Structure 1
């Protein structure tokens, strides 16, 4: 097992990519602490991932607040003894024209995506140092690499670009501490995030239309991204740090 005896924190772990990653980490022997805003959803997800409750814990709270990150790290240390891996997977997404964005929109993207990543890393890294190192994997976005005319998303893209930049800066600063920091940058992945601004009927009609956007011929699934997150967090990727890896079915190759 790749993560036997290891402890993983996943911010944004109650559904979609975060939930899929949590499942794979547990399957590989890890103890996992997940975070999200909705406690009822965290409880349900935790039960599904590990009915015994022995390998999973959760902390509900707003990850844009440093106090939530402090509580999350404390839960991992008190319950499982430390931290080896941090996955920052929080995100919100709603295509919006630049001139239509309101001040609260920009603040929300910065809070959920950028502040959450900054604070969790800031609190978790000292605990990783105590374990002799660790790995951080951030979920970035293809939209921070390449603009897509059909889905205007300036605030989202700017916040995700900040997450990409933070990835590279942390990788350089903490390489000496044996802490690797990487990010994945997915294109269209079929997760519940689309239900936040479309009805179920609209989602079922709209998402299939993006299959051909990817040269490989299909949208991504949470498990596609989770597999890569787990790989980057593992010792198999011990010589990889400071990278933002596109997971896009070839989409950015076509756009470039």
Structure 2
């Protein structure tokens, strides 16, 4: 019997949004690649520990150290540096393949997820090219095949997105929080998800960007009957037909 199910396409990666907020991540190396890794980690609110001789720091990494945005250890990596049980991830960015492989093997022994820069076989995960607009994050990955191509594809996607996308998502997030206050029970979960989906589909991006707290309050009054009024009706308090015709043309009465 034939089924309309997606075909399995192997060879990919499981792309996840890894939450590293307040978790300790060890970065080994202080050059340009390390600078990009460190910025990504700081944007995700990770606690970054950096190991690198000071003469190996580029200007950006040196700035992060100076601003105390990272915990810095001015030295070369030693195996005992992995003894801290709080370390949840290791990123290496050093120009020494043999040392990188040694670190990889040590991480495997300690079951620590690791990324060895520019050595795909020695990576538990890859970094992609990321587009960021407030809460919106889009990552393009080539599974280690072509980092530059990932950047080109990401820029193409970025060029097609409206500049208001991030603001609209922030407003939707605020509406979801208010909805949970209106309908907090677990049993309301399916209805909440369905109703929020209808709002996102039926309201335009421009509507969502313009939405104010008072509009959210009015909109939430329609949650219980499971309806989604238009933005025009929410803002004006009138039905669409009333809004479209305000009587400004007057009436003619022929006797």
TM-score past 0.5 threshold: no
Larger radius of gyration: 2
TM-score by length of 2: 0.28
Higher relative contact order by CA 8 Å / sep ≥ 6: 1 or 2? 1
Which of the two has greater helix per residue?
1
